[in-house]
Structures are given as C-alpha cells and as structure tokens.
C-alpha cells in the first residue's frame, strides 16, 4: 500500500512503486480533492517518468477528470501552473534520489502541497480493497498538451527578481533533470552570463555525480571557467545550492541567512522572523539571534515550513538542503526563484558570494550519517542509550538529531559540535548502535 513520506510517495520504480499504484493514486486524488477542472501533470527526466505520467493521466481519465500535460518540467512549475489554473497538480519525480527510484508529489488547487489530513484521507482510500480501477474499463484519454506553460513559467520566474546581472558569470548545474526544461532563460533575462552543465538527460544520469547531491561538479566548472559563482539544482529543480568563486559550498542555511539578513536590513522581513527545520545548523540560530531575527523551527519537509509561514504571515523559510520558500513569490520551494533572489543580493551588494556567506553566519561543524535500515528491528533501548551518551558529551555546545528518512530506507543522524572531530566521534557511536 502507498504511504506518504516527507514529500509525496516514492519508491523503486516498477517494484515498490508500479504504474497501477499510480493509477489508483490518481483515482484516490480525484475522489478526495474532487477537482473542478483539469489536473496539471509534470515529470522529470527519469527513464520511468513517462510511464508514471501516463499512469496519472490514465487514472484521472478513467474517472472523468481531464489533465494538462506539461511534459518535462520543474516541480515548482507544476505548482505555479496549479496556482495559475486554480487546479490540483501532480509531479512525477523522486527528487534527489537515483534514476531507478520514482515518485509522485501532489499539489492541491492553488499549488500548495497537501496537508497531513488530506494525505491521511488519500491513504484511507488507497487502503480500501473495494476501490480500484480495472484496465479493461478504460475510457477515453482526457489530456491536453500544456508544454507551452513551461515557457510562461520561465517568464513568471524571471519577473520575481529585479536586478542588473551584467558582469556576473555563473555556472549552473541542471543535474540532467527538470531544470534542463527551464534554463538558462530566467537568469539571462537579468543579463547574467550563464554556462549550463549537465543538461543532457538520458533517463539514467539524473543526479548522477551532478546536481545538488554532488556540488563538486559545479565547483570544478566554476574553477575551470573563473566564474563568480555556481548554482546546482536537484533532479526536479525545487531546491538549489550554491558554490562561491573558490568552489566552496554555500548551502541552504547560508542562502536563507543571506536573504534573511538582506531583507531585515531593508525592512522587508515581516515579524523579523524566518522559518527553518530541525536540521538547520546551530550557527544559523546564533547568527539570527545576533541580528535580532526570530527563528521558528519545524519538522523536516518544506510543506511544514510552508504551513508555519502561512500561520505567521512570514516571508522567508526553508531547509539546509536548498528548499527555500518565498511565499510572496511561489507556493512551494522553487530552485529558480531562490537562485534569482540570491543573485539579486549579490548584484545589489556588489560583494562576492563568499563574503556574503561569511558575513551571514558561521557554520558549526556538522556531521550527517545515513544508517541503512536492515531487515532486523532496531534495538530502541541501545539507540536511546547511545543518544543519551551523545547528548552528555555535547552538553550545551552541540546537539544530536536522529530521525527516519521520509524518502529513503535509512535512519538519518545529524551531530553538531564545537569541532569536527567531536561531531564525527559522536555520530559514529550513534550509527554503531543502529547498525548492530
């Protein structure tokens, strides 16, 4: 049975997630959301994505719901189109995962990710064996080519920023993914000189030694070309990370810190508040406190960040991974919007990205481990004891966070400490408790 994780449903294509599952998901979505117009469909560049997009179209068509098929598009483009058309949206993607995985991200009418209550209702419908669609009862295929919307989206994204990027040389890594459908137009619209790398998807190379999970690729290109900075997207382009002119990573925490401080100085940060997740570096919290900026913390997942932003009527939030949300500009994390907002600060301040990142915050050493979950149950007592011992070692000068991944079969361990050596030692001990 399909279960929603941190960001939609996801699994190994044709094994953990099959086209028939996606057909049923489409039908459940039609029942729970009851769309009054067509559903917007988009996909990334994985080999399996055309099959799963077709499964969505088939499932919706079978219950009389038409679709608008954007083809290959960034996830935020689907959200933008859903908001524009006042319709639900469905994106076929497994984001930063390898090519052999796939998934579906759903948006309600208005382009916002589904809340917990709606996801629970969908799971309930999917768990009912009496609900289902038989392939031999398929009706007409109710879909329209909407690929032109991707071009309109590029224009809309370009309009979210206002700066003169003449003289800025930027390398952009498209991760052989959805960003290939939207680059380099929005950046070039501001006069930025753009070189795009890893923009030749073959179905299997998405996120492979490129993109936001492998910033070394864009760092190398920036060094070779003597560029001012680099931007690197994930497979569906809803997140972006950066590298400075020396190739050093500027992660989501630093991007948010740069933008928060800049907006704070201009009086454009409502409530002097920014929203982040539990994974955000302690250095971020310290930097914001020094500037009088409040920090609200949520669970991992940009939909949680969005919910907090809406509740507080705040203007900026996001995740260390590069999911950044500007509610006035987009209904979800949008890598292209974030890239433009960052470039706007760089252009206006006239400083190298490296200087802006150093000015914005000092990162505490942080170690991230992924402990693979095996067939045997985890010894919860042993893990609790290991976490307690870690907290005693760290005291008030660090922290440890252990949580199951919402997108992969792993336990994520995050440790922050005053030194990298302490963080590594503590994380190793906690991982050992899981791996035993």
Q: Which residues contact 334 (CB under 8 A, 6 or more apart)?
A: 74, 76, 79, 80, 157, 237, 238, 324, 325, 326
Query: What does the DSSP 8-state code read for residue 127?
Result: T
CA 411 to chain centre: 19
Quickly list DSSP for 184-219. SHHHHTTT-EEEEES----SS-TTTT-GGG-THHHH
Going by C-alpha positions, the residue among 270, 227, 226, 252 that lies closest to residue 342 is 252
Say if CB 337 and CB 323 are below 8 A apart: no
Between CA 94 and CA 106, with CA 100 as vertex, the angle to 5 degrees is: 20
Active-site residue among 49, 95, 178, 212? 95
Say whether 369 sits in a helix, a strand or coil: strand
* Strands of 229-233's sheet in order across: 193-197, 169-173, 229-233, 240-243, 249-250
Q: How far, in Å, CA of 269 to CA of 208, rounded?
A: 37
Between CA 37 and CA 230, with CA 306 as vertex, the angle to 5 degrees is: 100
Query: What does the DSSP 8-state code read for residue 373?
Result: P
Question: What are the start-end ranges of the E strands in 223-335?
Answer: 229-233, 240-243, 249-250, 273-277, 294-298, 317-318, 324-325
Active-site residue flag, 208: no
Q: Which two tokens mark 154?
A: 């590029």
Q: How far, in Å, CA of 63 to CA of 39, rounded?
A: 12
Active site residues: 95
């Amino acid at each position: 049975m399909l279960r929603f994780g941190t960001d939609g449903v996801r699994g190994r294509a044709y094994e953990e997630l099959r086209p028939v599952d996606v057909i049923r998901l489409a039908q459940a979505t039609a029942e729970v959301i009851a769309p009054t117009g067509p559903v917007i469909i988009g996909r990334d560049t994985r080999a399996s994505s055309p099959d799963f997009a077709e499964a969505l179209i088939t499932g919706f068509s079978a219950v009389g719901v038409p679709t608008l098929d954007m083809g290959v598009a960034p996830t935020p483009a689907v959200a933008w189109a859903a908001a524009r058309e006042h319709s639900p949206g469905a994106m076929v993607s497994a984001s930063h995962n390898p090519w052999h995985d796939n998934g579906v991200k759903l948006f309600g009418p208005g382009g916002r990710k589904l809340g917990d209550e709606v996801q629970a209702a969908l799971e309930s419908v999917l768990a009912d064996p009496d609900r289902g669609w038989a392939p031999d009862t398929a009706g007409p295929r109710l879909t329209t080519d909407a690929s032109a919307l991707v071009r309109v989206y590029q224009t809309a994204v370009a309009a979210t920023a206002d700066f003169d990027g003449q003289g800025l040389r930027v390398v952009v890594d498209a991760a052989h993914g959805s960003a290939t459908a939207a680059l380099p137009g929005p950046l070039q619209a501001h006069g930025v000189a753009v070189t795009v790398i890893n923009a030749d998807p073959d179905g299997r190379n998405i996120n492979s030694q490129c993109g936001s999970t492998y910033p070394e690729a864009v760092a190398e290109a920036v060094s070779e070309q003597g560029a001012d900075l680099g931007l690197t997207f994930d497979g569906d382009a809803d997140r972006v990370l950066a590298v400075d002119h020396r190739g050093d990573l500027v992660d989501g925490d630093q991007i948010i810190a740069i933008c928060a401080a800049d907006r704070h100085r201009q009086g454009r940060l409502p409530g002097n508040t920014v929203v982040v997740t539990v994974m955000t570096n302690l250095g971020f919290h310290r930097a914001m406190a020094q500037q009088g900026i409040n920090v609200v913390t949520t669970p991992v997942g940009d939909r949680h960040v969005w919910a907090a932003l809406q509740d507080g009527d705040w203007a900026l939030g996001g995740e260390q991974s590069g999911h950044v949300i500007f509610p006035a500009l987009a209904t979800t994390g949008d890598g292209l919007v974030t890239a433009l907002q960052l470039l706007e600060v760089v252009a206006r301040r006239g400083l190298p990205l490296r200087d802006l990142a150093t000015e914005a915050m000092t990162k505490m050493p942080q170690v991230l481990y992924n402990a693979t979950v095996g067939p045997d149950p985890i010894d919860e007592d042993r893990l609790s004891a290991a976490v307690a011992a870690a907290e005693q070692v760290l005291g008030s000068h660090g922290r440890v966070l252990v949580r199951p991944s919402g997108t992969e079969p792993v336990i994520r361990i995050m440790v922050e400490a005053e030194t990298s050596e302490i963080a590594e030692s503590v994380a190793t001990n906690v991982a050992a408790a899981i791996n035993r």
